[in-house]
Structure 1
Amino acid sequence: MWGDYMGLITYTFKDVCEKTGYKPSVIRYYEKEFNLNIPRDVNGRRFFTQKEFERLIFIRQLQQQGYTNGQIKKIIEDNRFEGLQEIAAAKELNVPIELNNTLVSPLNENIINFINEKLTEINSNINELSKNVSSKERDILISENMKLKMELKQKSYEIIELKEKLKYEKERKKGFLSKIFKK
């Protein structure tokens, strides 16, 4: 611990790195990635209140549960973050907590439903993208197929033309030789 800021306990960057297991570069990246508002002292150095520290712990817990950074960002940006954070902390301790004067178990059904809705939405988006890619690939293949058929047709006409020229040349040579031998 480092000191206090406006009556709040604060932590140094080094303390937070040690407690969360994140490297300093990762925390700086997450500050931008997750739009974390980490306060700075008069010299521009970051310091962390309990709120920022808990948010990093919450991010770590979601990552350990298999969530991607994009999914975590959506969860953090959602207004339900504060409740999720409290539930995640309680889940780690494996005890019920009180949220808005209501007893909530660590596996709160509303949170699970919310997460399932988001996963369903993501799955739906992936399926739609897959269909769009398949549709575009099919259109490209059809276009390429039509182009090849046109080229084949053009080559067929060229072959017919060359056969006609060959036939004409044979007749002409035959006619020339027959004139020589007839005389």
Structure 2
Amino acid sequence: MERSYTFKEICEKTGYRPSAVRYYEKEFDLKIERDVNGRRIFKERDLNLLLLIKKYQEEGYSNQQIKKLIGSIDVSANEEIAVTSVGKMEVINGINKSSNDVLLVFEEKFREINELLNQLNQNINSKERDLLLTENMKLKMELKQKSYEIMELKEKLRYERERKKGFFSRLFSKKR
């Protein structure tokens, strides 16, 4: 008969607070059995799964990454998860997966994501460059237009100054 644990025992064995165990039950969609009163009944596989989650967290994996790692392991009711200190995980009496296999999958996915990001960056840079060139041309055209307006205003100002001078002052003024 498989050993079962109380909620308190699980908290002691894993080092998790009760709120964390409840959170991880929801977060990782753990199927924890319950008795007729609704209390959780933890089996050996549940304990092993929580210990595996803790191990991955200590190694720096995010919850999303841990979900994928755990999802690659088929944990049936009679299987136990063994976590060794050299960083390998195995499912005894089930599918064997080493952390190297999982890392290879992650590296491949990482390369694919990196390639897609590079393509997106190139597209964004190209679009940004085109946008900047267009904006630059618009600003140059506006600058040219303003320069013509300034020249026109200067000409009008010079004409008005000449017109306001009296007849004699224009007659005796020095030519420039």
Q: Is the 8 A contact 1:75 1:81 kept in 2?
A: no
Give matches, 1:7-22, under 5 Å.
7-22=1-16
Among all aligned residue pairs of Structure 1 and Structure 2, give the percentage whose two residues are the same amino acid: 28
Greater share of residues in helix: 1
Which of 147, 167, 174 does residue 155 from structure 2 map onto?
167
Rounded Cα–Cα distance in structure 1 between residues aligned with 2:37 and 2:22: 17
- 1:125-177 C-alpha deviation (Å, 9 max, x unpaired): 14523542464255335424532441342133022112112112202321442
- 1:79-124 C-alpha deviation (Å, 9 max, x unpaired): x3449x85x6262499xx895599x8xxx7x652343222331243
Compute the TM-score of the two structures, normalised by the length of structure 2: 0.73
| Corresponding letter in the other structure for 1:167 | E
2:55 corresponds in structure 1 to 61
Question: Given the superposition, is the C-alpha separation of residues 123 and 137 from structure 1 closer, same or farther in structure 2, using an over 3 Å criterion?
Answer: same
Rounded Cα–Cα distance in structure 2 between residues aligned with 1:77 and 1:155: 62
Matched, 1:24 2:18: yes
Bigger radius of gyration among the two: 2
Deviation (angstroms), 1:28 = 1.5
Matched, 1:89 2:82: yes
Name the SS for the 1:8 alignment partner: coil
Q: Is the 8 A contact 1:8 1:49 kept in 2?
A: yes
| Corresponding letter in the other structure for 2:165 | L
| Corresponding letter in the other structure for 1:89 | A
For the aligned residue pairs, the C-alpha RMSD in angstroms reads 3.5
1:71 corresponds in structure 2 to 65
Which of 27, 33, 44 does residue 27 from structure 2 map onto?
33
2:101 corresponds in structure 1 to 113
Which of 119, 132, 144 does residue 120 from structure 2 map onto?
132
Question: Given the superposition, is the C-alpha separation of residues 132 and 175 from structure 1 closer, same or farther in structure 2, using an over 3 Å criterion?
Answer: same
